[in-house]
């Protein structure tokens, strides 16, 4: 309480300790607490176990959802975990962060009939959490094939690819730019969605199969190159993600009060004491995707007084799902649409606000109306998209084709360069979902295995 009182006595600005540590801990508790044994049985009993179930088709990793739910109902959660992990080795994380409300649960027959789907995500978490808590491994490493594969990036795509390759007996080395693995699962997702260091626990579980080494601090294009990897390995998989971020093209865009939302989320995820993470009093978030929602909600949970998301189109065009939008507003976040930033308001070196222009759609094209509004802001978060930032794609003797700012791949995940595959957000078939990245990493691994076995 003393910390909170002290914070309130300070002038407006970006400060730490707006709320006490206990209150922040309570604010960042698990968004969806796990089901207990009885709750899981009740939830599983609602499943119709559909033939040709639409939920399976809606799942990017094609998990046999009716089967694993039936296994839970029959008292066999370990069998359910095996069914999930067969298709998605990161099933525990996906159960927490997947937008199930727009994927499997939206397709659920119960949702169509009653407006209340089976709790597929929570049931998936129930089974996978039990297996991981008991360190139950369902895969043993076969005899080594003598083949070696380089995986660039230890995010969801890279981890899924590495694990599947290891199940085939190949040796895998993951090259990771950061000092910690996990990619967006570790650095880019709201802290209240993955509590208790779950991302690291999942990495430990995935790599427990053996045959997977991770080398940290190895940035593609700086410390490693396609040429060097080709000399050391028989195949290469690129899961480099999107390290670049879009910025505002306007005066004062480099002000300290203008913050990359991804960086804010990452710093908060790694903070030992979230109450000590500085946050503004009046915050404007520019963007309409999941990053915007995660940054806005967490700023509010840290004690920001006003948090406003400004998006240039209508709510129906926001990449964040209706559920996530409702979550934000339920936490006190205001969402204002048809607005785009025009000018940052700075006085005596301090960020005071932002001027936005109202927009409209004319024949499908977004245009400014000329009318403007000003919002108070001592901190502006930018969540207006990430870009491919990878110097290693164009070597002296190698070059990988890029399509619309992403690595171009075919249906097998193969790039324009023989022996090099790619998957996840960095590709032209990625869609900024963990579950899609897992599917692409897994499928690329199968195609790499086929190529190495030919």
Lowest mean pLDDT among 63-77, 382-396, 412-426: 382-396
Q: Is it the case that residue 348 has pLDDT exceeding 70?
A: yes
Q: How many helices (H) and strands (E) does the chain have?
A: 18, 17
Tokens of 437: 């990245």
Please check whether residue 138 is in contact with residue 82, taking contact to mean a CB–CB distance below 8 angstroms. yes
Over residues 307-339, the pLDDT tens digits come to 999 999 999 999 999 999 999 999 999 999 999
For the chain, give the longest Cα–Cα distance: 70
196 Rama sector, left if φ>0, alpha if ψ -120 to 50, beta otherwise = left
* φ, ψ dihedrals at 359, nearest 5°: -120, 170
- Give the pLDDT score at 12: 60
| Through-space distance between the first and last CA atoms of the chain, rounded to whole angstroms | 66
Rounded percentage of the chain residues whose pLDDT exceeds 70: 96
* DSSP E strand boundaries for 61-163: 148-152
The mean pLDDT of 243-268, rounded to a whole number, is: 92
- Residue 350: exposed, middle, or buried by beta-carbon count in 10 A (0-12, 13-18, 19+)? middle
- Give the pLDDT score at 5: 41
User: Average pLDDT over the chain, rounded to whole?
Assistant: 94
pLDDT level of residue 395 (50, 70, 90 thresholds):
low
Q: Is it the case that residue 4 has pLDDT exceeding 60?
A: no
> What sign does the dihedral 62-67-72-73 (CA atoms) show?
positive
The mean pLDDT of 207-229, rounded to a whole number, is: 94
CA gyration radius, the chain: 23
Q: Is it the case that residue 205 has pLDDT exceeding 80?
A: yes
CA 423 distance to own-chain centroid: 14
Instruction: Judge: domain 245-385, CATH 3.50.50.60.
Output: yes
Q: Is it the case that residue 109 has pLDDT exceeding 60?
A: yes
The mean pLDDT of 281-306, rounded to a whole number, is: 97
12, 354, 374 from 350: Cα distances, Å: 11, 12, 16
The mean pLDDT of 293-306, rounded to a whole number, is: 97
The three-point CA angle 427-212-432 to 5° equals: 25
pLDDT level of residue 396 (50, 70, 90 thresholds):
low
- Give the pLDDT score at 454: 86
Rounded percentage of the chain residues whose pLDDT exceeds 90: 88
Residue range 148-243+388-453, CATH number:
3.50.50.60
The mean pLDDT of 412-433, rounded to a whole number, is: 92
Q: Is it the case that residue 145 has pLDDT exceeding 90?
A: yes
- Give the pLDDT score at 141: 93
- Sequence ranges of the chain with CATH classification 1.10.1060.10: 37-133
- Give the pLDDT score at 432: 85
- Give the pLDDT score at 1: 39
CA–CA dist 61, 42 (Å, integer): 25
| Answer CATH for 37-133 from 3.40.50.720, 3.40.50.2300, 3.10.20.600, 1.10.1060.10 | 1.10.1060.10
The mean pLDDT of 286-293, rounded to a whole number, is: 96
- Sequence ranges of the chain with CATH classification 3.50.50.60: 148-243+388-453, 245-385
Over residues 259-279, the pLDDT tens digits come to 999 999 999 999 999 999 999
């Amino acid at each position: 309480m003393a910390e909170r009182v002290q914070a309130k006595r300070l002038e407006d600005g970006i400060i730490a300790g707006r709320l006490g540590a206990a209150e922040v801990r309570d604010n960042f508790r698990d968004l969806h607490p796990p089901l207990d044994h009885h709750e899981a049985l009740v939830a599983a009993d609602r499943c119709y176990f559909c033939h040709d179930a639409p939920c399976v088709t809606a799942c990017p990793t094609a998990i046999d959802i009716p089967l694993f739910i039936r296994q839970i109902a029959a008292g066999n959660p370990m069998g359910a975990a095996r069914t999930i992990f067969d298709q998605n080795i990161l099933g525990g994380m996906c159960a927490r962060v997947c937008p199930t409300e727009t994927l499997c649960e939206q397709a659920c027959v119960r949702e169509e009939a009653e407006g209340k789907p089976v709790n597929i995500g929570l049931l998936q978490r129930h089974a996978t959490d039990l297996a991981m808590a008991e360190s139950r491994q369902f895969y043993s490493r076969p005899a080594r094939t003598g083949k070696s594969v380089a995986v660039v990036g230890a995010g969801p795509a890279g981890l899924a690819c590495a694990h599947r390759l290891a199940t085939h007996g190949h040796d895998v080395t993951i090259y990771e730019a950061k000092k910690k693995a996990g990619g967006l699962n570790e650095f880019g997702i709201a802290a209240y969605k993955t509590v208790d260091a779950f991302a690291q626990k999942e990495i430990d579980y995935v790599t427990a199969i053996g045959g997977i080494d991770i080398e940290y601090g190895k940035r593609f294009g700086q410390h490693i190159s396609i040429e060097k990897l080709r000399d050391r390995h028989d195949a290469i998989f690129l899961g480099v993600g999107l390290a670049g971020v879009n910025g505002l093209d306007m005066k004062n865009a480099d002000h300290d009060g203008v913050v990359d939302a991804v960086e804010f989320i990452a710093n908060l995820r790694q903070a030992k004491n979230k109450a000590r993470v500085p946050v503004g009093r009046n915050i404007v978030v520019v963007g309409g995707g999941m990053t915007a929602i995660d940054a806005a909600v967490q700023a509010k949970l840290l004690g920001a007084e006003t948090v406003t998301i400004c998006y240039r189109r209508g709510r129906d065009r926001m990449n964040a799902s209706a559920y996530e939008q409702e979550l934000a507003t339920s936490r006190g976040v205001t969402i204002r649409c048809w607005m785009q930033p025009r000018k940052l308001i700075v006085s005596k070196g301090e960020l005071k606000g932002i001027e936005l222009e109202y927009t409209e759609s004319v024949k499908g094209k977004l245009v400014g109306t000329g009318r403007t509004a000003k919002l108070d802001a001592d901190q502006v978060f930018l969540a207006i998209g990430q870009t491919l930032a990878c110097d290693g794609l164009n070597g002296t003797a190698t070059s990988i084709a890029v399509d619309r700012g992403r690595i171009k791949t075919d249906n097998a995940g193969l790039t324009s360069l023989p022996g090099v595959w790619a998957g996840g957000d960095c590709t032209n078939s990625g869609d900024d979902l963990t579950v899609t990245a897992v599917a692409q990493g897994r499928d690329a691994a199968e195609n790499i295995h086929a190529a190495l076995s030919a």
